Structure 1
Amino acid sequence: MNHVIRATTAEDWQSVKHLRLDALRDPVANIAFLDTYEAAAARPDEFWQDRAAGGGELLARQFVAERADGGLDGAVTVLVERAGRQDVLGGQIEADQAHLVGVFVRPEQRGSGLARALFDAAIAYADGLDDPKVSRVRLYVHQDNERAEAFYRKTGFIRSGQSVPVPGDESSVEHELVLDRAV
Protein backbone atom coordinates (compact mmCIF):
# COMPACT_ATOMS: atom_id res chain seq x y z
CA MET A 1 0.00 0.00 0.00
CA ASN A 2 1.54 3.28 -1.12
CA HIS A 3 -0.68 5.63 0.81
CA VAL A 4 -0.34 7.98 3.73
CA ILE A 5 -3.26 7.86 6.15
CA ARG A 6 -3.77 11.30 7.67
CA ALA A 7 -6.33 13.72 9.02
CA THR A 8 -7.59 16.34 6.61
CA THR A 9 -6.85 20.04 6.90
CA ALA A 10 -8.74 23.06 5.62
CA GLU A 11 -6.48 23.11 2.54
CA ASP A 12 -7.79 19.67 1.50
CA TRP A 13 -11.33 20.87 0.89
CA GLN A 14 -11.34 20.51 -2.90
CA SER A 15 -9.90 16.99 -2.77
CA VAL A 16 -12.35 16.07 -0.01
CA LYS A 17 -15.23 17.40 -2.10
CA HIS A 18 -14.15 15.44 -5.21
CA LEU A 19 -13.68 12.21 -3.23
CA ARG A 20 -17.13 12.56 -1.65
CA LEU A 21 -18.76 13.24 -5.01
CA ASP A 22 -17.03 10.16 -6.44
CA ALA A 23 -18.28 8.14 -3.45
CA LEU A 24 -21.83 9.31 -4.11
CA ARG A 25 -21.54 8.06 -7.72
CA ASP A 26 -20.54 4.57 -6.52
CA PRO A 27 -23.07 1.87 -7.49
CA VAL A 28 -23.87 1.15 -3.81
CA ALA A 29 -24.09 4.81 -2.75
CA ASN A 30 -27.86 4.54 -2.31
CA ILE A 31 -27.38 2.04 0.55
CA ALA A 32 -24.03 3.32 1.81
CA PHE A 33 -24.74 7.02 2.35
CA LEU A 34 -27.59 9.16 3.61
CA ASP A 35 -26.74 11.75 0.98
CA THR A 36 -27.08 12.14 -2.77
CA TYR A 37 -24.70 13.33 -5.43
CA GLU A 38 -27.07 16.13 -6.40
CA ALA A 39 -27.37 17.46 -2.85
CA ALA A 40 -23.63 17.26 -2.22
CA ALA A 41 -22.72 18.90 -5.53
CA ALA A 42 -25.02 21.83 -4.73
CA ARG A 43 -23.33 22.62 -1.40
CA PRO A 44 -21.27 25.82 -1.28
CA ASP A 45 -17.48 25.81 -1.01
CA GLU A 46 -17.75 26.91 2.63
CA PHE A 47 -19.40 23.59 3.50
CA TRP A 48 -16.48 21.64 2.05
CA GLN A 49 -13.95 23.92 3.71
CA ASP A 50 -15.58 23.36 7.11
CA ARG A 51 -15.82 19.62 6.47
CA ALA A 52 -12.13 19.29 5.60
CA ALA A 53 -11.12 21.39 8.60
CA GLY A 54 -13.32 19.37 10.97
CA GLY A 55 -15.53 22.36 11.67
CA GLY A 56 -19.21 22.55 12.30
CA GLU A 57 -21.40 21.81 15.29
CA LEU A 58 -19.89 18.40 16.05
CA LEU A 59 -16.35 17.48 16.95
CA ALA A 60 -15.31 15.63 13.81
CA ARG A 61 -12.10 14.39 12.25
CA GLN A 62 -11.86 13.04 8.72
CA PHE A 63 -9.08 10.66 7.77
CA VAL A 64 -8.03 10.11 4.17
CA ALA A 65 -5.77 7.77 2.26
CA GLU A 66 -3.48 9.92 0.13
CA ARG A 67 -1.44 8.61 -2.81
CA ALA A 68 2.08 9.83 -3.51
CA ASP A 69 0.68 12.07 -6.28
CA GLY A 70 -1.65 13.78 -3.77
CA GLY A 71 -4.85 12.08 -4.93
CA LEU A 72 -7.23 10.58 -2.39
CA ASP A 73 -8.35 6.96 -2.54
CA GLY A 74 -10.45 6.65 0.61
CA ALA A 75 -11.88 8.32 3.67
CA VAL A 76 -13.63 7.79 6.99
CA THR A 77 -14.93 10.42 9.38
CA VAL A 78 -15.12 10.19 13.17
CA LEU A 79 -18.02 12.13 14.73
CA VAL A 80 -17.77 12.55 18.47
CA GLU A 81 -21.22 12.39 19.99
CA ARG A 82 -21.69 13.81 23.49
CA ALA A 83 -23.81 12.23 26.21
CA GLY A 84 -27.20 13.85 26.71
CA ARG A 85 -27.55 15.01 23.11
CA GLN A 86 -29.29 13.55 20.12
CA ASP A 87 -27.17 11.57 17.70
CA VAL A 88 -27.17 12.13 13.95
CA LEU A 89 -30.09 9.71 13.57
CA GLY A 90 -32.21 11.30 16.30
CA GLY A 91 -31.52 8.86 19.14
CA GLN A 92 -30.50 9.86 22.65
CA ILE A 93 -26.80 9.46 23.45
CA GLU A 94 -26.22 7.87 26.85
CA ALA A 95 -22.41 8.24 27.03
CA ASP A 96 -19.75 10.00 24.97
CA GLN A 97 -19.05 7.90 21.88
CA ALA A 98 -17.41 7.97 18.48
CA HIS A 99 -19.49 7.36 15.37
CA LEU A 100 -17.73 6.37 12.14
CA VAL A 101 -19.42 7.72 9.00
CA GLY A 102 -18.65 8.45 5.37
CA VAL A 103 -16.63 5.29 4.82
CA PHE A 104 -15.43 5.05 1.23
CA VAL A 105 -12.57 3.39 -0.62
CA ARG A 106 -12.28 3.62 -4.39
CA PRO A 107 -13.28 0.33 -6.06
CA GLU A 108 -9.79 -0.31 -7.43
CA GLN A 109 -8.38 -0.12 -3.87
CA ARG A 110 -10.92 -2.40 -2.20
CA GLY A 111 -9.32 -5.49 -0.70
CA SER A 112 -5.89 -3.81 -0.56
CA GLY A 113 -5.86 -3.12 3.19
CA LEU A 114 -6.59 0.56 2.69
CA ALA A 115 -9.96 0.46 4.45
CA ARG A 116 -8.37 -1.30 7.42
CA ALA A 117 -5.66 1.36 7.62
CA LEU A 118 -8.30 4.10 7.60
CA PHE A 119 -10.27 2.33 10.33
CA ASP A 120 -7.14 1.84 12.42
CA ALA A 121 -6.44 5.59 12.25
CA ALA A 122 -10.05 6.53 13.06
CA ILE A 123 -10.25 4.14 16.02
CA ALA A 124 -6.86 5.26 17.34
CA TYR A 125 -8.05 8.87 17.18
CA ALA A 126 -11.27 8.03 19.05
CA ASP A 127 -9.40 6.01 21.66
CA GLY A 128 -6.89 8.82 22.16
CA LEU A 129 -9.44 11.49 23.03
CA ASP A 130 -9.35 12.74 26.60
CA ASP A 131 -12.18 15.26 26.43
CA PRO A 132 -14.48 13.65 25.81
CA LYS A 133 -13.29 10.17 26.68
CA VAL A 134 -15.40 7.95 24.41
CA SER A 135 -16.99 4.84 25.87
CA ARG A 136 -17.55 3.09 22.55
CA VAL A 137 -17.07 3.32 18.80
CA ARG A 138 -20.04 2.62 16.56
CA LEU A 139 -21.31 2.81 13.01
CA TYR A 140 -24.43 1.95 11.05
CA VAL A 141 -24.72 -0.32 8.04
CA HIS A 142 -27.68 -0.77 5.69
CA GLN A 143 -29.35 -4.17 5.87
CA ASP A 144 -28.45 -4.83 2.21
CA ASN A 145 -24.80 -3.74 2.42
CA GLU A 146 -23.41 -7.19 3.12
CA ARG A 147 -19.94 -6.45 1.77
CA ALA A 148 -19.51 -3.48 4.11
CA GLU A 149 -20.86 -5.39 7.09
CA ALA A 150 -18.43 -8.26 6.40
CA PHE A 151 -15.54 -5.78 6.43
CA TYR A 152 -16.76 -4.14 9.63
CA ARG A 153 -16.96 -7.54 11.30
CA LYS A 154 -13.36 -8.30 10.24
CA THR A 155 -12.24 -5.09 11.93
CA GLY A 156 -13.90 -6.08 15.21
CA PHE A 157 -17.39 -4.62 14.98
CA ILE A 158 -20.44 -6.61 16.10
CA ARG A 159 -24.15 -5.89 15.93
CA SER A 160 -25.44 -4.18 19.04
CA GLY A 161 -29.00 -5.38 18.52
CA GLN A 162 -30.19 -1.84 17.71
CA SER A 163 -31.57 -0.90 14.30
CA VAL A 164 -33.08 2.28 12.91
CA PRO A 165 -35.29 2.90 9.88
CA VAL A 166 -33.47 4.35 6.89
CA PRO A 167 -34.52 7.99 6.47
CA GLY A 168 -36.74 8.22 3.42
CA ASP A 169 -37.14 4.42 3.17
CA GLU A 170 -39.06 3.15 6.19
CA SER A 171 -39.10 -0.39 4.72
CA SER A 172 -35.32 -0.69 5.23
CA VAL A 173 -33.18 -0.55 8.35
CA GLU A 174 -29.62 0.23 9.29
CA HIS A 175 -28.03 -1.96 11.94
CA GLU A 176 -25.86 -0.42 14.61
CA LEU A 177 -22.47 -2.10 14.98
CA VAL A 178 -20.15 -1.43 17.89
CA LEU A 179 -16.47 -2.11 18.27
CA ASP A 180 -16.07 -5.26 20.32
CA ARG A 181 -13.24 -4.43 22.70
CA ALA A 182 -12.78 -8.13 23.45
CA VAL A 183 -11.64 -8.81 19.87
Structure 2
Amino acid sequence: MSTYEIRRFRADEWEKFREIRLEALKDTPIGFGEWYEDALEKSDEVWQERTRRSAEAPDSALFAAFLNGKPVGTAGAFPRAESLNREMVIYGVYVSPEHRGPRLGVASLLFDAVIKWAREVGGADVVTLSVHERNDRAHAFYRRYGFVDTGETMPYNLDETASLIWMRYHG
Protein backbone atom coordinates (compact mmCIF):
# COMPACT_ATOMS: atom_id res chain seq x y z
CA MET A 1 0.00 0.00 0.00
CA SER A 2 1.22 3.50 -0.85
CA THR A 3 2.04 5.97 1.87
CA TYR A 4 0.79 9.48 1.22
CA GLU A 5 2.30 12.54 2.87
CA ILE A 6 -0.39 15.09 3.72
CA ARG A 7 0.90 18.62 4.30
CA ARG A 8 0.67 22.22 3.15
CA PHE A 9 2.44 23.21 -0.01
CA ARG A 10 5.75 24.98 0.57
CA ALA A 11 6.29 28.33 -1.17
CA ASP A 12 9.06 26.90 -3.37
CA GLU A 13 6.76 24.17 -4.73
CA TRP A 14 4.93 26.48 -7.14
CA GLU A 15 5.65 24.28 -10.16
CA LYS A 16 4.10 21.28 -8.40
CA PHE A 17 1.14 23.42 -7.37
CA ARG A 18 0.67 24.60 -10.97
CA GLU A 19 0.90 21.01 -12.24
CA ILE A 20 -1.81 19.63 -9.94
CA ARG A 21 -4.04 22.71 -10.40
CA LEU A 22 -3.90 22.46 -14.20
CA GLU A 23 -4.59 18.72 -13.98
CA ALA A 24 -7.63 19.43 -11.78
CA LEU A 25 -8.99 22.09 -14.11
CA LYS A 26 -8.62 19.79 -17.11
CA ASP A 27 -10.11 16.76 -15.32
CA THR A 28 -13.08 18.51 -13.66
CA PRO A 29 -13.78 21.83 -15.44
CA ILE A 30 -16.91 22.51 -13.34
CA GLY A 31 -15.13 22.02 -10.04
CA PHE A 32 -13.00 25.07 -9.48
CA GLY A 33 -14.44 28.38 -10.71
CA GLU A 34 -11.55 28.93 -13.11
CA TRP A 35 -11.08 27.83 -16.71
CA TYR A 36 -8.08 25.69 -17.66
CA GLU A 37 -7.19 28.01 -20.54
CA ASP A 38 -7.12 31.06 -18.24
CA ALA A 39 -4.95 29.28 -15.67
CA LEU A 40 -2.59 28.06 -18.39
CA GLU A 41 -1.89 31.67 -19.41
CA LYS A 42 -0.91 32.82 -15.90
CA SER A 43 2.71 33.86 -15.50
CA ASP A 44 5.23 32.06 -13.31
CA GLU A 45 5.05 35.04 -10.95
CA VAL A 46 1.29 34.55 -10.48
CA TRP A 47 1.80 30.86 -9.70
CA GLN A 48 4.63 31.69 -7.31
CA GLU A 49 2.43 34.19 -5.45
CA ARG A 50 -0.56 31.81 -5.31
CA THR A 51 1.65 29.07 -3.92
CA ARG A 52 3.31 31.40 -1.41
CA ARG A 53 -0.10 32.51 -0.12
CA SER A 54 -1.27 28.89 0.08
CA ALA A 55 1.85 27.98 2.04
CA GLU A 56 2.14 30.95 4.37
CA ALA A 57 -1.24 32.64 4.92
CA PRO A 58 -2.18 32.58 8.60
CA ASP A 59 -5.94 32.43 7.95
CA SER A 60 -6.09 29.98 5.03
CA ALA A 61 -4.22 26.88 3.93
CA LEU A 62 -3.97 24.53 0.97
CA PHE A 63 -2.98 20.96 1.74
CA ALA A 64 -1.74 18.38 -0.71
CA ALA A 65 -1.38 14.64 -0.73
CA PHE A 66 2.11 13.82 -1.97
CA LEU A 67 3.25 10.43 -3.19
CA ASN A 68 7.01 10.16 -3.78
CA GLY A 69 7.22 13.97 -3.83
CA LYS A 70 4.47 14.44 -6.44
CA PRO A 71 1.14 16.04 -5.47
CA VAL A 72 -1.80 13.75 -6.23
CA GLY A 73 -4.55 15.67 -4.42
CA THR A 74 -5.44 18.98 -2.80
CA ALA A 75 -7.89 20.49 -0.32
CA GLY A 76 -7.78 23.83 1.45
CA ALA A 77 -9.76 26.09 3.76
CA PHE A 78 -10.36 29.82 4.08
CA PRO A 79 -12.65 31.97 6.26
CA ARG A 80 -16.09 32.76 4.81
CA ALA A 81 -16.26 36.53 4.84
CA GLU A 82 -20.03 36.94 5.07
CA SER A 83 -20.44 34.43 7.88
CA LEU A 84 -21.86 35.52 11.23
CA ASN A 85 -19.93 32.77 13.00
CA ARG A 86 -16.42 31.41 12.68
CA GLU A 87 -16.91 29.52 9.44
CA MET A 88 -14.18 28.00 7.30
CA VAL A 89 -14.89 26.98 3.72
CA ILE A 90 -13.17 23.99 2.17
CA TYR A 91 -11.99 24.65 -1.38
CA GLY A 92 -9.76 23.27 -4.10
CA VAL A 93 -10.69 19.63 -3.50
CA TYR A 94 -9.15 17.37 -6.10
CA VAL A 95 -7.65 13.88 -6.27
CA SER A 96 -5.90 12.53 -9.37
CA PRO A 97 -7.98 9.76 -11.01
CA GLU A 98 -5.53 6.95 -10.25
CA HIS A 99 -5.58 7.89 -6.53
CA ARG A 100 -9.37 8.10 -6.10
CA GLY A 101 -11.62 5.76 -4.21
CA PRO A 102 -12.18 4.55 -0.68
CA ARG A 103 -9.54 1.83 -0.92
CA LEU A 104 -6.76 4.44 -1.08
CA GLY A 105 -8.58 7.04 1.02
CA VAL A 106 -6.67 10.07 -0.29
CA ALA A 107 -9.70 12.38 -0.21
CA SER A 108 -10.46 11.34 3.37
CA LEU A 109 -6.84 11.93 4.42
CA LEU A 110 -6.97 15.42 2.89
CA PHE A 111 -10.29 16.20 4.59
CA ASP A 112 -9.00 14.92 7.93
CA ALA A 113 -6.03 17.31 7.68
CA VAL A 114 -7.88 20.36 6.40
CA ILE A 115 -10.77 20.06 8.87
CA LYS A 116 -8.32 19.60 11.76
CA TRP A 117 -6.43 22.71 10.58
CA ALA A 118 -9.68 24.69 10.13
CA ARG A 119 -10.74 23.93 13.69
CA GLU A 120 -7.40 24.06 15.53
CA VAL A 121 -5.61 26.83 13.64
CA GLY A 122 -8.46 28.60 11.85
CA GLY A 123 -10.70 28.58 14.92
CA ALA A 124 -13.68 27.31 12.94
CA ASP A 125 -16.92 26.51 14.69
CA VAL A 126 -18.48 25.62 11.34
CA VAL A 127 -16.93 23.94 8.27
CA THR A 128 -18.71 24.24 4.93
CA LEU A 129 -18.10 23.80 1.23
CA SER A 130 -19.91 24.31 -2.04
CA VAL A 131 -20.20 21.77 -4.84
CA HIS A 132 -21.38 22.19 -8.42
CA GLU A 133 -24.87 20.75 -8.83
CA ARG A 134 -23.64 18.39 -11.59
CA ASN A 135 -20.53 17.15 -9.76
CA ASP A 136 -22.18 13.96 -8.53
CA ARG A 137 -18.93 12.16 -7.64
CA ALA A 138 -17.79 14.96 -5.31
CA HIS A 139 -21.25 15.45 -3.84
CA ALA A 140 -21.44 11.73 -2.98
CA PHE A 141 -18.02 11.78 -1.30
CA TYR A 142 -18.90 14.85 0.76
CA ARG A 143 -22.08 13.16 2.01
CA ARG A 144 -20.17 9.97 2.89
CA TYR A 145 -17.61 12.05 4.78
CA GLY A 146 -20.31 13.72 6.91
CA PHE A 147 -21.42 16.85 5.05
CA VAL A 148 -25.13 17.60 4.62
CA ASP A 149 -26.85 19.95 2.19
CA THR A 150 -27.83 23.22 3.85
CA GLY A 151 -30.50 24.19 1.32
CA GLU A 152 -28.44 27.24 0.37
CA THR A 153 -27.34 27.63 -3.26
CA MET A 154 -25.59 30.28 -5.26
CA PRO A 155 -24.96 30.83 -8.96
CA TYR A 156 -21.81 29.24 -10.37
CA ASN A 157 -19.46 32.07 -11.38
CA LEU A 158 -18.51 30.54 -14.76
CA ASP A 159 -22.08 29.62 -15.78
CA GLU A 160 -24.93 31.44 -14.10
CA THR A 161 -27.42 28.85 -15.37
CA ALA A 162 -25.78 26.38 -12.95
CA SER A 163 -25.72 26.43 -9.15
CA LEU A 164 -23.36 25.60 -6.34
CA ILE A 165 -24.89 23.66 -3.45
CA TRP A 166 -23.67 24.59 0.04
CA MET A 167 -22.96 21.77 2.49
CA ARG A 168 -22.08 21.80 6.20
CA TYR A 169 -19.91 19.31 8.06
CA HIS A 170 -21.62 17.31 10.79
CA GLY A 171 -18.75 15.11 11.92
Q: TM-score, normalised by structure 2?
A: 0.90
SS at match of 2:78: strand
| 1:38 matches 2:37 | yes
- Number of aligned residues: 167
Q: Which residue of 2 aligns with 1:10?
A: 11
Paired residues for 1:49-88 under 5 Å: 49-54=48-53, 59-68=59-68, 70-81=69-80, 85=81
Q: Which residue of 2 aligns with 1:164?
A: 154
The list of structure 1 runs, each at least 4 consecutive aligned residues, that deviate by more than 6 angstroms after superposition, is none
| 1:117 counterpart letter in structure 2 | L
Q: Distance in 1 between matches of 2:162 and 2:115?
A: 28
Q: Which residue of 1 aligns with 2:113?
A: 121
Please tell me whether the aligned partners of residues 58 and 80 of structure 1 are also in contact (alpha carbons under 8 angstroms): no
Q: Distance in 1 between matches of 2:45 and 2:83?
A: 29
Q: Which residue of 2 aligns with 1:88?
A: none
SS at match of 1:66: strand
- Give, in angstroms, the shift of residue 58 of structure 1: 8.4
Change (3 A) 1:166 1:58: farther
Q: Distance in 2 between matches of 1:13 and 1:116?
A: 24
- Paired-residue identity, %: 33
Please tell me whether the aligned partners of residues 29 and 36 of structure 2 are also in contact (alpha carbons under 8 angstroms): no
| 2:25 counterpart letter in structure 1 | L
SS at match of 1:174: strand
Change (3 A) 1:57 1:126: closer
SS at match of 1:13: helix
Q: Distance in 1 between matches of 2:84 and 2:109?
A: 29
SS at match of 1:43: coil
Q: Which residue of 2 aligns with 1:143?
A: 133
SS at match of 1:54: helix
Please tell me whether the aligned partners of residues 58 and 79 of structure 1 are also in contact (alpha carbons under 8 angstroms): no
Structure 1: state its 5+ residue gaps: 86-91
SS at match of 2:90: strand
- Give, in angstroms, the shift of residue 165 of structure 1: 1.2
Q: Which residue of 2 aligns with 1:155?
A: 145
Q: Distance in 2 between matches of 1:16 and 1:57?
A: 16
Q: TM-score, normalised by structure 1?
A: 0.84
| 2:123 counterpart letter in structure 1 | K
| 1:2 counterpart letter in structure 2 | T
| 1:140 counterpart letter in structure 2 | S
Q: Distance in 2 between matches of 1:58 and 1:38?
A: 30
Q: Which residue of 2 aligns with 1:89?
A: none
Please tell me whether the aligned partners of residues 153 and 164 of structure 2 are also in contact (alpha carbons under 8 angstroms): yes
Structure 2: state its 5+ residue gaps: none
